């Protein structure tokens, strides 16, 4: 595993303003691509500009705006494994489950090459990642924690945002579960921990503990 600090690029995909992340160590040519969205050409351009080849595609969950680029990624790099939480794997190939049917898109992703769940560790592209189950926004949501980074960093998907939280009004959503995931899985990671969310700017656990109106210390919900 690498001892240096990873570089993390954020690429915004419209129309849902979804963040795709490219994460890599400067001296390497392999990388992670997290939640490739609806504008894969932007991801390709960023990868090509840095001469990076993805070693894995990670999906935090199976909603359309986070998986729409999987197909283009797999078309260009067929051997690159697509990894998603066990509970959301079926959404990849189910337009109702991934919510694209509701937008008239009927989007289908390639199927997962690997599924992961609570406590699993992945060693890819110099990263040591820990998987945590974080249901609430949807039942099969996972986050990927970069353990070999100081401070620790999290690819958090649609769980905890800067000043907000993921929606819980979908069929398999639950605010009680979301709050529990944040309080029991994310907050214990420590105040310095950097969260890279699926929408909006990066934040820290300490910042959200102190100020988040939905799950922070002042939240009344």
Contact residues for Zn ion (CB under 5 A)? Answer: 63, 158
Q: Closest separation between CB of residue 166 and Zn ion, Å?
A: 6
Closest distance between Zn ion and the C-beta of residue 117, in Å? 18
Helix (H) or strand (E) holding 56: strand 53-59
Compare residues 158 and 208 and give the one whose CB is closer to Zn ion: 158
151, 163, 145: which is closest to 200 by C-alpha?
Answer: 163
Beta carbon nearer to Zn ion, 41 or 169? 169
DSSP secondary-structure letter at 21?
E
Nearer to Zn ion, 97 or 126 (CB): 97
Q: How far is the CB of 154 from Zn ion (least distance, A)?
A: 16
**Residue with the shortest CB distance to Zn ion:** 63
Note every long-range contact of 107-110, with CB atoms under 8 Å and residues 24 or more positions apart, other chains counting. Answer: 107/64, 107/67, 107/68, 108/71, 109/62, 109/67, 109/68, 109/70, 109/71, 109/82, 110/70, 110/71, 110/74, 110/82
> CB-based burial of residue 1 (10 Å sphere; 0-12 exposed, 13-18 middle, 19+ buried)?
exposed
Residue 63 vs 74, nearer CB to Zn ion: 63
Residue 138 CB, nearest distance to Zn ion (Å)?
6
């Amino acid at each position: 595993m690498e001892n240096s600090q990873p570089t993390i690029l954020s690429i915004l995909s419209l129309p849902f303003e979804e963040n795709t992340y490219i994460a890599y160590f400067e001296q390497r040519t392999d990388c992670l691509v997290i939640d490739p969205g609806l504008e894969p050409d932007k991801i390709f351009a960023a990868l090509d500009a840095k001469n990076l080849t993805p070693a894995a595609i990670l999906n935090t969950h199976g909603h359309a705006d986070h998986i729409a680029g999987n197909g283009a990624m797999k078309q260009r790099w067929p051997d690159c494994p697509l990894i998603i939480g066990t509970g959301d794997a079926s959404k990849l190939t189910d337009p109702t489950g991934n919510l694209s049917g509701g937008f008239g898109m009927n989007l289908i992703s390639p199927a997962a090459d690997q599924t992961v769940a609570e406590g699993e560790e992945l060693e890819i592209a110099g990263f040591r990642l820990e998987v945590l189950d974080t249901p609430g926004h949807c039942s099969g949501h996972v986050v990927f924690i970069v353990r070999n980074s100081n401070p620790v960093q999290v690819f958090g998907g649609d769980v905890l945002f800067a000043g907000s939280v993921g929606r819980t009004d979908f069929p398999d959503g639950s605010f009680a579960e979301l709050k529990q995931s944040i309080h029991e899985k994310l907050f214990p990671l420590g105040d310095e921990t950097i969260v890279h969310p699926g929408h909006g700017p990066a934040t820290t656990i300490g910042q959200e503990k102190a100020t988040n109106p939905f799950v922070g210390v002042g939240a009344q919900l």
